Amino acid sequence: MKHLSSDELDILRHFFPQGVVAFDLETTGLSPLVDRIIEISGIKVTQDGFETFDKLIQPGIPIPPFTTEIHNITDEMVADAPKIDSVIPEFVDFIAGFPLIAHNAKFDVGFIVFDMLQNKLNLPAAKVYCSCALSRKVFTEFPNHKLATLVEKLDIKLENHHRALDDAKACLHVFTKALHTYFEQKKNTKILNSAFLFEMNSFDENAELDIPRQIKGLEPLVASQEMIDIKYKGGSMKGKFRPVRPISLLPMPDGLILYAHCLVSNLYKSFAVKKIAEYKTLSTQEQIEREKLLNN
């Protein structure tokens, strides 16, 4: 990575003296339980230099046109690519237990962990850090912390946004620039705690990855991000229906979560799937009324 400055490289090796891997995925959608990985890329930085991993993957299902519009990966491009069961062991060997960095990392790691568990692979003791979380802590003046916004604000070159290798490079630049900015101002290393999410091996390798029978119908609704009402066994509306727009079903260390936009609080929240007692779909008119509520 010839464009990684000496200051960035120094600060990265200061915080991660043994090495670190920045990675990114392209997928058919946002939920590893129903969607598939179609590209994995990573950049490993050690004291010895850089190493890259970059592979397209045959997902075994058609790539939805709306996702192709984002990443420009077509069914034809992956037709002869290897499948995930042969690629995921190679990627695990590549990361070799090094700390991992990704942008909105819980989504990417959710896919990796899901496929590792499906293929009976041991989860490494790799710490996971999120460049988006770090950016929110350091660059508080920015309007948002999407990768496209950050590369513009931080003057980072990004040629092919939404292709995994280019996004992994951009993620690494964002992370190192945030570390350097904070360290220059505060002269301490505690900022890394703000970016830490969890260790990969904190996931239960015997975790139940299936959706409970009573809410099995959530899967297609998550795929379409159709607004629904859920009855949750906790929180300020315990036992009552609350309107949400589901975004993703993700494996997390404590079990499956439904990541959704809560219309009551207007916040993005994680709901433990095991605590969702019931859900109901909305009529077309109710959908329209909820959309109006969101836009007001």
Instruction: Tell me the β-bridge partners of 166.
Output: none
Report the Cα 256 to chain-centroid distance in Å: 14
From its phi and psi, is residue 151 left (phi > 0), alpha (psi between -120 and 50) or beta? alpha
Q: Is 20 helix (H, G, I), strand (E, B) or coil?
A: strand
Find the DSSP H helices in the chain: 6-15, 65-71, 75-78, 84-95, 105-118, 131-138, 147-153, 164-186, 192-195, 218-224, 284-295
* DSSP per-residue letters across 130-194: EHHHHHHHH-TTSS---HHHHHHHTT---SSTTSHHHHHHHHHHHHHHHHHHHHHHH--STTHHH
Tokens of 17: 């003296």
Instruction: Enumerate the active-site residues.
Output: 162
Compute the distance between CA of residue 16 and CA of residue 47 in angstroms, rounded to an integer: 10
Amino acid letter for position 233:
K
**Sheet architecture: strand order including 20-27:** 49-56, 37-46, 20-27, 100-102, 127-130, 196-199
